[in-house]
Amino acid sequence: MVSEVQIWRLSRAHKERKLKLENLTLEEKASLCSGQDFWTLKSIERLGLPSIMVTDGPHGLRKQKAGSDHLGINQSVPTTCFPPACATASSFDRHLLEAMGAAMGEECVQENVAVILGPGVNIKRSPLCGRNFEYFSEDPLLAGELAGYLIKGVQQKGVGTSLKHYAANNQEKRRMSNDSLVDERALREIYLAAFERAIKIGDPWTVMCSYNLVNGTYASMNKKLLNDILREQWGFKGLVMTDWGAVTDRVEGVKAGLDLEMPGSGGVNDAKIVSAVRGGRLSEGDLDKAALRVIELIEKGVETAAKTKGCQYDVDAHHALARKIAAESAVLLKNDDRILPLKPGKCVAVIGTFAKTPRYQGAGSSKINPTRLDSPFDELLRLGVNAEYAAGYGAGGVTTDALVAEAVTLAAKSDVVVVFAGLPDEYESEGFDRSVMDMPAGHNALIEAVAAANPNTLVVLQLGSPVTLPWKDRVKAIVAAYLGGQACGGAQADVLTGAVNPSGKLAETWAAALSDTPCAQWFPGAYKTTEYRESIFVGYRYYDTAGVAVNYPFGYGLSYTSFAYSDLTLDKTSVKAGDTLTATFTIKNTGTLDGAEIAQVYVIAPSTSAIYRAKKELRGFDKVFLKAGESKTISITLDDRSFAYYNAPEGCWALESGGYTVAVGASSVCLPLSAVVELAGDGKETALAAQQTTAADYFAVAKGGITISDEAFAAVLGRPIPPSQRASGEPFTVNSTIGEIRETPAGGQLYAEVLQGMAALFGGGGEPDPSMQRMVEAMIGDMPLRALAMFSPEMSPAMLDGIIAGANAAL
């Protein structure tokens, strides 16, 4: 509870900030609302407001000392590269994420960073999203819980976080200009729910808005998102900042609740704010709100810096924590004949370049310069494994007959084969999306050949997203290690040798084929829009409802031991609005090894529901460690939101009467315990009665597959579907992309000049690595013209107008 002294201090601090605000000129207020440069805020020294630094996360600190960029191109100071969210989500461990956050906070304190930009809680709508490695899950409850605890960990060290990318930013293609068309129910239940939960758990200092439009309005000037929902409904008290270069109309942004533009515009947008206030187009009160939030953020950062000056973090301890997190996040997908853990004394063939040069993080703005990097092969040797190595493939996953032959020869003479494979950097990155779910052909061919030579073959996958597994029935074990951070080598060796008993569970479904995924028909969309036609049927909510077979379901993961569930009881037989319901059950470790189990609680709506619903939804989870033979009683409490749906016509969360099944088990498809509770609803589902006819396609998902007509999508969207393509002869604007105008003479020249300019970011025009090259080329093509000033400070508004006029002249 907040003490009287704390209340007094908060009140005094607020009064002091108000006094500083009153002493600011109009120009100073406007200047505070944009960055000084790429990473720092402006100062007002006469009022004791210094500049503070904000910089990239989200799974470690990326602080650049020189050569600033937001793409991860230029080098940053060495810091701990913890496992990205694609891995840590599989831990289902709130307190592990909190510990990771605290360590990140300590590193920020040492480097005098006030705010670390992360975590990201965008939903994994498609496995193709190039930035999925930065995001937690296809499920909003899991994503929101883990992000909330990571935020708590960072901020307990006096360092702020920036929850991102708000909102409906679920692809990289055209991310700066795309309009995400999402029906209100899906928006609330799926795409905003993770943000809401993370905010209520962690109370982040800042929220970062995304680049894209959401239902016709850019996120950076979307009052519904930035004010009505975020502040008024969720109670967020912090600051809203842009993603880098996300401003489209600075004045409208201030009106909507956007406080801070990053990076700054060289004073251009500050002047627009001043002019709008003086011209009566912007209330000075709205500007005051934004400036006051910036002052508060600066003062928080200054307070921590004053208290922690000279603090140093323990590099070795943080590396050890990174190893623990990576090991507890690994998911054992298959283990035939108990081939794992590796048996002492066996001759082990270790095959694959990733065994010596692991893929441990994603590419782009989150790319960390690690304090050290362990390799799986070296760590296996250090743990006493009798191992020999063959490369198997080269750069980009390409293999040759000679490399495969070498690997096959080694495999044939060994007792066990461990193949390290997955997705190279150039396959998934910020800036572009994958087009297929497949691993490199060279990786797949190598696994097939080695498995044919030795049946005792197992595969360790290093990747940021699910892939197809054409060889899964021909290998004995599969470990999804995801991207394990700088200590991935030691963590993977720990799991393979049994030093750590794997306990991770999948935070996303591994579909059997891309065509099976619910949004395959609509991802990544057209030039102007991406239609979220699948609505609420994302991930397991679709697969389990439609009865689509998958390779591995949500929540799935094996262990070297076994567990049994029993004795489920509910503390009530009926509930109503405002009630809680506690499910209590027992888990027993029935095996011979100590291990941890992740218990999951799902709610299944009545089969007679008058609205379309997913078959089941995750509503609670807990991770419990059990010694061999030990039993523990677990209690998980559900609130009324666990049974609710969002009623768009009524504009509120609603409850439908009926018998709801509370199911408990080890994954979304393994739920041995269940009990029914009666819910007294509010009857508001009658407002949706017409959808049984107008949106019948959504009710048909339960019969298998997903086919959504224009009429059905328009019905749930609540308006006609906007055009997805540019009309012939439609004029170019500042929001048109370089790729759109590239075919005009002026646009072609601009593209060439920007590409040449980007080469300078690689250090004097040196050759970039393939992942960076692909990312930069994709980002240039999708870059709106308005964002050019971020990369070319000499680009004036008049110059930009000239470029647009030249492109339009060619239409």
Q: Are 65 and 77 in contact (CB under 8 A)?
A: yes
The DSSP bridge pattern shows strands 217-218 and 213-214 to be antiparallel
Sign of CA dihedral 233, 237, 238, 242: positive
Give the other-Cβ count within 10 Å of 718's Cβ: 12
Q: Are 423 and 442 in contact (CB under 8 A)?
A: no
Sequence-separated (6 or more) residues with CB below 8 Å from residue 584:
567, 568, 569, 570, 571, 633, 634, 635
Sequence-separated (6 or more) residues with CB below 8 Å from residue 42:
31, 32, 34, 35, 36, 51, 264
Q: Which two tokens stand for residue 177?
A: 């200009």
Sequence-separated (6 or more) residues with CB below 8 Å from residue 287:
26, 29, 30, 33, 254, 273, 277
* Helix 94-110, helix 315-329: angle, nearest 10: 150
Beta strands in 523-630 (DSSP E): 529-531, 550-552, 563-570, 574-575, 581-589, 595-604, 617-626
Distance CA 521, CA 532 (A): 10
One-letter amino acid at 322 equals A
- Of the candidates 243, 270, 286, 374, the residue annotated as catalytic is 243
Give the other-Cβ count within 10 Å of 649's Cβ: 15
CA angle 493, 499, 504 (to 5 degrees): 80
Q: Which two tokens stand for residue 489?
A: 């080598």
243 classed as catalytic: yes
Q: Are 423 and 363 in contact (CB under 8 A)?
A: no
CA angle 605, 611, 615 (to 5 degrees): 35
The DSSP bridge pattern shows strands 331-335 and 213-214 to be unpaired
**Consecutive H or E run containing 478:** strand 477-480
Q: Are 181 and 722 in contact (CB under 8 A)?
A: yes
Sequence-separated (6 or more) residues with CB below 8 Å from residue 55:
39, 61, 62, 63, 64, 113, 115, 116, 117
Residues identified as active-site: 243
